[in-house]
């Protein structure tokens, strides 16, 4: 066993999973600026407090994007208006990025209702390739690096025909379409392979001469994935079938962290949905419940920027916490979801984060979270902030999707 494995094992052995063992902690007030002044108006929030909070998360947690890059070319790979037995339009699009000798292809799979008007969509990364989302032989197999999983037909970091529809339980495509929404999905590894290696993916496009990895205040993988979502949004703005004023960005687990950061950095996303995003996502860091800053930085050193390492087992030093990240979404609708069997992601910490972000929604004239106490299992609550904790383990389920569709109906359709 390697030294790194010993460290991770020791950290996980000491993890807090009992509420009585949560240390005393003090959360920073989201409406108190770093200079101590109170935020009392929406103008001060948008002009002063929001930029200051965003800057801290950018330089100390997720890392800054070190430059700008537009899509070099869009290739329509395939379309059909007879997908899902005639229920939907299927569209496969490649977004090409080029710089010098570098070339990156980000493949977008779209299922859209066959209707006359533009449609609202859910935009979400998937974990193992677009072909895994739905049992459709027309979906192109990903050629990108994928973590090995022989049981899913992923061998030597490449997918096979066996991989098709292997994640379809997480993607109720037909239900989404029948509800009047489109699904836009991308394999996150197209943008940056999920491994501690910054020699491939999008990062090298921005390197200075002799640079081999991001600087300490520059983007880790989560920020790179969030950047990729914004580039997909760039494309969606050109697609005549999509209502770009109603794009809900959604993510599960590490991709829930990504969705939150994408929503914080790009206000074109009209709704943000975090499914069991845990540490570095919706859960409060200072509670040290379940996965901690030290554990996540040790297990996944490439996800965050180098500056985040200074907060390993030192969460008290953080002048922010994740409720302040959620507040950056305001006044746009935000949904945070947990699972009863997923203590690692700290369901209570996720709920509290949504609760403490509510004051910003209220300052901006919205409702925020409509309850003060954590709701019972399988009893969703929906204001401008929505929340549920469902039965079951760490996963993205049809139950979760049912709530997200209801939430989107509430904010995208009612009164329209």
What residues act catalytically?
253, 394
CB 113 within 8 A of CB 152: no
């Amino acid at each position: 066993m390697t030294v790194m494995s010993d460290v991770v094992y020791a950290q996980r052995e000491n993890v807090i999973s009992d509420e009585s063992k949560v240390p005393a902690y003090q959360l920073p007030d989201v409406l108190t600026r770093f200079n101590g002044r109170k935020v009392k108006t929406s103008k001060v929030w948008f002009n002063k407090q929001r930029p200051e909070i965003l800057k801290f998360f950018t330089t100390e947690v997720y890392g800054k994007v070190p430059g700008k890059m537009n899509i070099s070319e869009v290739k329509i790979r395939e379309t059909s208006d007879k997908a899902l037995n005639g229920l939907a339009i299927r569209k496969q699009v490649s977004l090409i990025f080029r710089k010098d000798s570098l070339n990156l292809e980000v493949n977008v799979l779209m299922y859209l209702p066959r209707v006359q008007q533009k449609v609202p969509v859910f935009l979400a990364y998937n974990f193992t390739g677009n072909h895994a989302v739905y049992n459709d032989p027309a979906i192109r197999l990903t050629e990108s690096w994928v973590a090995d999983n022989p049981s899913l037909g992923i061998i030597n970091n490449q997918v096979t025909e066996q991989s098709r529809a292997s994640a379809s339980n997480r993607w109720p495509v037909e239900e989404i379409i029948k509800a009047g929404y489109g699904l836009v999905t991308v394999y996150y590894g197209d943008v940056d392979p999920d491994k501690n290696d910054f020699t491939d993916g999008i990062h090298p496009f921005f390197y200075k001469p002799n640079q081999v990895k991001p600087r300490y205040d520059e983007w880790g993988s989560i920020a790179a994935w969030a950047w990729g979502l914004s580039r997909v949004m760039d494309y969606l703005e050109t697609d005549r079938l999509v209502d770009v004023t109603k794009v809900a960005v959604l993510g599960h687990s590490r991709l829930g962290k990504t969705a939150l950061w994408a929503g914080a950095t790009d206000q074109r996303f009209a709704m943000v949905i975090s499914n069991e995003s845990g540490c570095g996502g919706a859960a409060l860091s200072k509670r040290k419940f379940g996965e901690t800053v030290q554990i996540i930085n040790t297990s996944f050193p490439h996800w965050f920027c180098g500056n985040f390492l200074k907060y390993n087992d030192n969460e008290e030093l953080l002048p922010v916490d994740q409720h302040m990240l959620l507040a950056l979404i305001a006044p746009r609708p935000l949904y945070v979801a947990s699972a009863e069997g997923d203590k690692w992601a700290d369901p209570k910490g996720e709920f509290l984060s949504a609760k403490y972000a509510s004051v910003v929604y209220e300052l901006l004239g919205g409702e925020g979270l409509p309850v003060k106490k954590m709701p019972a299992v399988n009893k969703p609550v929906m204001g401008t902030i929505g929340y549920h904790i469902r039965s079951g383990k760490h996963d993205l389920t049809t139950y979760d999707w049912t709530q997200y569709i209801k939430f989107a109906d509430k904010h995208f359709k009612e009164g329209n």
